[in-house]
Amino acid sequence: MSPRLVVLCFLFRDTDSGSEVLLGLKKTGFGAGRIVTLGGGVEAGETDAQAAVREVAEESGVVVGVSQLTQLGRIRWRFPSQPAADMDAAIFTADEWAGTPQPTAEVDPAWYPVNDLPWEGMWEDAQHWLGSVIAGEQLDVLVTLNPDNETVSSAVWANP
């Protein structure tokens, strides 16, 4: 079985108190109860960028254009005890969009200071790679989960 193709899109804004990133409390589906970024599966016929645009709109009401996206690379998650959960994600950022994030059936979005992220509510693996996303650095990471499907066994960075 091939990994599920997904996208993650991190929206950033500058405020008087510093840079913030849009994350949200996942209400349904995979990751429910955790603080996650906007994103989801790539549908048939979509490019990764088109999927990111659609997912941002569906999960927050915010409109971002393909031309406003920056692709930083990929993160691949492997769940050895549950291979059906394997995912390959294209990672995008944007600092321009239209609209104000609104709660949806799937996500309750909120802005977080990039220097004070809600790590305790997030997936553990984010601690291995989210700093690179915030810094706007290219990344290609393979994250392997432990049998509990939550904690990280390893996070291996591909050589540039």
Express each pLDDT in 21-80 by its tens digit.
999 999 998 889 999 999 999 999 999 999 999 999 999 999 999 999 999 999 999 999
Q: What's residue 30's pLDDT?
A: 82
Q: For residue 89, what are the CA distances in angstroms to 16, 103, 116? A: 32, 23, 24
What does the pLDDT average to over 108-132? 96
For 54, list phi and psi in degrees, rounded to 5.
-65, -45
Asked if residue 160 has pLDDT above 70, the reply is no
Report d(CA 113, CA 139) in Å as an integer: 22
* Coil vs helix vs strand at 21: strand
Asked if residue 1 has pLDDT above 90, the reply is no
Percent of residues in the chain assigned helix, strand, coil, to nearest 5: 20, 40, 40
* Coil vs helix vs strand at 36: strand
8 A C-beta contact, residue 153 and residue 142: no
Q: What's residue 31's pLDDT?
A: 87
Report d(CA 71, CA 76) in Å as an integer: 15
Domain 4-157: which CATH class? alpha beta
Using a 10 angstrom Cβ sphere, with 0-12 exposed, 13-18 middle and 19 or more buried, the burial of residue 75 is buried
Which two structure tokens, joined as six digits, stand for 54? 């659609």
Q: What's residue 97's pLDDT?
A: 96
Q: What's the pTM value of the predicted model, to 2 decimals? A: 0.95
Q: Name the H helices within the chain.
A: 48-60, 126-134
Q: What's residue 91's pLDDT?
A: 98
Question: Considering just the CA atoms, what is the radius of gyration of the chain in Å?
Answer: 15
Q: What's residue 26's pLDDT?
A: 96
Q: What's residue 47's pLDDT?
A: 98
Residue 111's DSSP bridge partners are 22
Residue ranges of domains in the chain? 4-157
